[in-house]
Each structure stands twice: as structure tokens, then as C-alpha cells.
Amino acid sequence: MALIEVLVSLLLFAFGLLGLIGLEATAINLSVDSEDRSRAALLANEIASYMWANNSVTVPSSQVTTWNTNCRNLTTETGLPNCIVYPPTVTATNSADIKITWVPLQDKSGTLRQLTTRVILP
């Protein structure tokens, strides 16, 4: 009878340990996703700063190309995997939407992540 009790307790301990391993894997994935979102927000802030500095919501296509190049470079602080920076969509005379998309490296399904920010100039 004592041997059965020990085996049951080992089984319960094993399930608990598997649960903790699964929890840690989820925490790591959420941490990576959070870091990617922070990088996208940093890039969106850079684009918004450019708009504020030029006092215009329109951006030359050469600048969008530069942002796309920087965005795809994973060694920079704004680098994201499979990143695309879309030209800002002008919604009014003084506002525009900034859209950045990327696909995380660890996501095997290829689910597209997106950050959209609205910039309103005075």
C-alpha cells in the first residue's frame, strides 16, 4: 500500500512539474512578443517625430524605404523579423495613421502582428 502511495505522489509531482515547464514556455513567448511590440512602438515614435519635425503628415517614399531597411535589420533597436512599414495613411489634413507589421520568428504559423498609431499634428 505504501508503494502505491509513493507512485501516486510521484505522478502528481510529475504533472506539477510539467505544468511549471509549460508556464515558463508561455512566459518566454509573451516576453518576446512584448519586446517586439516595444520595438514597433519605438519605430512608430521615430516616424511620428519625423512628421512633427517636418510639420507634415506626408512622408517621402525614400524615407519609408529607409525605415523599412532599418526595421528589417535585426541588429538595430527597432529591428523586427519580417517587418513592413507602410506609408502613413493620411486621415485628415493634420492626421495620419502609422502601420507597422511583422511576423515573429518563433511563430511557426506565420501569424501577422500589427501596430497602428495615429499622429495628429497641431
Of residues 51 and 76, the one with the higher pLDDT is 51
Q: With cut-offs at 50, 70 and 90, classify the pLDDT of residue 9.
A: very high
In a domain? residue 64: yes
The grid cell for 89 is 495613411
Q: Is residue 12 part of a domain?
A: no
71 is a domain residue: yes
Residue 24 within a domain: no
pLDDT digits (tens, 9 = 90+) for 98-118: 999 999 887 778 889 999 999
- CA 115 to CA 122: how far, in whole Å? 23
How much is the pLDDT for 49? 94
In-domain check, residue 9: no
Per the rule left: phi > 0, alpha: psi between -120 and 50, beta: everything else, 82 is left
pLDDT tens digits, 58-70: 999 999 999 999 8
- Indicate whether 106 belongs to any domain: yes
Q: Specify the number of domains making up the chain.
A: 1
Residue 16 lies in a domain: no
